[in-house]
């Protein structure tokens, strides 16, 4: 695991003291991010904190922007890699009231449909289970996708032909001035592994809540579909190893896994990072991989796939 001392320090001692004095929630300094990412590798973040309420999140963002401190909201770390040099700034996760799930609110309320409002900090798996128990169908494709709803919405996570963006009625964001905006579906740009407000002024805004349109259904049937998809996932993908799921996006009309396998790269290894022999689009940490091993392997795969097929694979994993 990378050393904390390798980090660039973005905050002055005075800024650290100010943050420590006004922040009442959990706050850690110089945090090795391998412990907070499913790839189990990554350099240190200067500060990692948990925001539990909307007012404290808005105030924090306003302060960070005012101090020109680099910051970013992350979810459960299942699709990020912090480089070995570390993240010079503040990483924010969402807990407390951001984990709530509630029925109703504004929404389409079409016959047979229900709107569920879910906080961005909620585990995706918790929402999938809650929907099954409450007889609400539509999210089964998410069964087995780790991470938070904020991560899933901003990544437009998907599987088996479904995408969370297709269910979104509205998303509530906090912008860089700490202002809250609820954007209806038609105000959003939704594309492959990306969901953003159309208004470019809101670029980089934080997802704090999503309203999803779900269909009433039979709880047992929903549960059975979830179980079936989890079993199919286990059969196809490496399990019990550290990864970030599919490492590269699928290029239009093709699959990254097929291209990597066709280029003969299954089993390619750099340090402790390995191209899975079970699913070529998974880069796995065999135990001792550093972020540098993973990025070196990523570049080698990109290079060799490009030479083999003329296609440049774009990482799905966000490199911080």
Ligand X SMILES: Cc1cc2nc3c(=O)[nH]c(=O)nc-3n(C[C@H](O)[C@H](O)[C@H](O)COP(=O)(O)OP(=O)(O)OC[C@H]3O[C@@H](n4cnc5c(N)ncnc54)[C@H](O)[C@@H]3O)c2cc1C
288 is catalytic: no
Q: Which residue number places its CB atom closest to ligand X? A: 75
What burial class does residue 206 get, using C-beta atoms within 10 Å of its C-beta: 0-12 exposed, 13-18 middle, 19+ buried? buried
* Contact flag: residue 154 with ligand X (CB under 6 A): yes
Which residue lies nearer to ligand X by CB, 113 or 230?
230
Among 34, 138, 197, 245, binds ligand X (CB under 6 A): 245
* Contact flag: residue 150 with ligand X (CB under 6 A): yes
Which residue is listed with tokens 């539509």?
138
* Contact flag: residue 146 with ligand X (CB under 6 A): yes
User: What angle (nearest 5°) sits at the alpha carbon of residue 177, between those of residues 86 and 105?
Assistant: 105
Q: Which of residues 101-120 bind ligand X (CB under 6 A)?
A: 120
Among 155, 212, 297, 301, binds ligand X (CB under 6 A): 155
* Contact flag: residue 207 with ligand X (CB under 6 A): yes
193 is catalytic: yes
* Contact flag: residue 276 with ligand X (CB under 6 A): no
Shortest distance, CB of residue 244 to ligand X, whole angstroms? 5
Which residue is listed with tokens 């993973």?
294
* Contact flag: residue 202 with ligand X (CB under 6 A): no
Among 7, 10, 57, 148, binds ligand X (CB under 6 A): 148
- CA 94 – CA 76 distance, rounded (Å): 9
What is the DSSP code string of 47-102? EEEEE-SHHHHHHHHHHHHHTT--EEE--SSSSEE--TT-EEEEEEEE-GGGG-EE
- Rounded to a whole number of angstroms, the CA Rg of the chain reads 20
**Phi and psi torsions of 115, nearest 5°:** -95, 130
Shortest distance, CB of residue 237 to ligand X, whole angstroms? 6
Q: Are 130 and 142 in contact (CB under 8 A)?
A: no
- CA 119 – CA 304 distance, rounded (Å): 41
* Contact flag: residue 74 with ligand X (CB under 6 A): yes
Which residue lies nearer to ligand X by CB, 20 or 102?
102
Number of residues lying near ligand X (CB under 6 A)? 30
270 is catalytic: no
* Contact flag: residue 197 with ligand X (CB under 6 A): no
8-state DSSP, 37: S
* Contact flag: residue 70 with ligand X (CB under 6 A): no
Tokens of 272: 């402790």
Among 34, 45, 78, 315, binds ligand X (CB under 6 A): 78
* Contact flag: residue 212 with ligand X (CB under 6 A): no
What is the DSSP code string of 260-302? HHHTT-TT-EETTEEE-SS-TTBEEE-SS--HHHHHHHHHHHH
Q: Single out the segment in contact with ligand X by CB under 6 A; choices: 23-31, 107-115, 222-230, 237-245.
A: 237-245
Shortest distance, CB of residue 198 to ligand X, whole angstroms? 16
Instruction: Give residues in contact with ligand X (CB under 6 A).
Output: 38, 72-80, 94, 120, 145-148, 150-152, 154-155, 157-159, 206-207, 243-245, 318
Q: Which residues are catalytic?
A: 193, 246, 316
């Amino acid at each position: 695991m990378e050393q904390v001392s390798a980090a660039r320090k973005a905050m002055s001692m005075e800024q650290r003291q100010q943050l420590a004095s006004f922040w009442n929630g959990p706050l850690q300094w110089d945090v090795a991010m391998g412990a907070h990412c499913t790839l189990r590798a990554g350099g240190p973040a200067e500060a990692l904190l948990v925001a539990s309420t909307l007012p404290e999140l808005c105030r924090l963002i306003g302060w960070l922007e005012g101090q020109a401190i680099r910051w970013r909201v992350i979810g459960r770390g299942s699709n990020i890699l912090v480089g070995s040099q570390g993240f010079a700034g503040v990483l924010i996760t969402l807990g407390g009231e951001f984990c709530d799930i509630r029925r109703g609110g504004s929404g389409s309320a079409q016959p047979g449909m229900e709107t569920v409002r879910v906080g961005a900090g909620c585990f995706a798996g918790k929402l999938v289970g809650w929907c099954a128990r409450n007889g609400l169908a539509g999210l089964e494709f998410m069964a087995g996708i780790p991470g938070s709803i904020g991560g899933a919405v901003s990544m437009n996570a998907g599987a088996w032909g479904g995408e969370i963006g297709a269910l979104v009625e509205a998303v509530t964001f906090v912008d860089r001035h700490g202002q809250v905006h609820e954007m209806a579906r038609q105000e959003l740009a939704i594309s492959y592994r990306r969901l953003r407000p159309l208004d470019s002024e809101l670029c980089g805004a934080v997802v704090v809540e999503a309203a999803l349109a779900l269909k009433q259904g039979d709880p047992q049937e929903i549960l059975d579909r979830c179980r079936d998809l989890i079993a199919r996932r286990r059969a196809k993908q490496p399990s019990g190893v550290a990864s970030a799921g599919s490492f590269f996006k699928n290029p239009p009309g093709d699959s990254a896994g097929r291209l990597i396998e066709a280029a003969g790269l299954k089993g390619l290894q750099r340090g402790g990072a390995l191209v899975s022999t079970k699913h070529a689009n998974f880069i796995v940490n065999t135990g001792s991989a550093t972020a540098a091993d993973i990025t070196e392997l990523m570049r080698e795969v990109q290079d060799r796939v490009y030479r083999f097929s003329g296609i440049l694979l774009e990482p799905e994993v966000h490199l911080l």
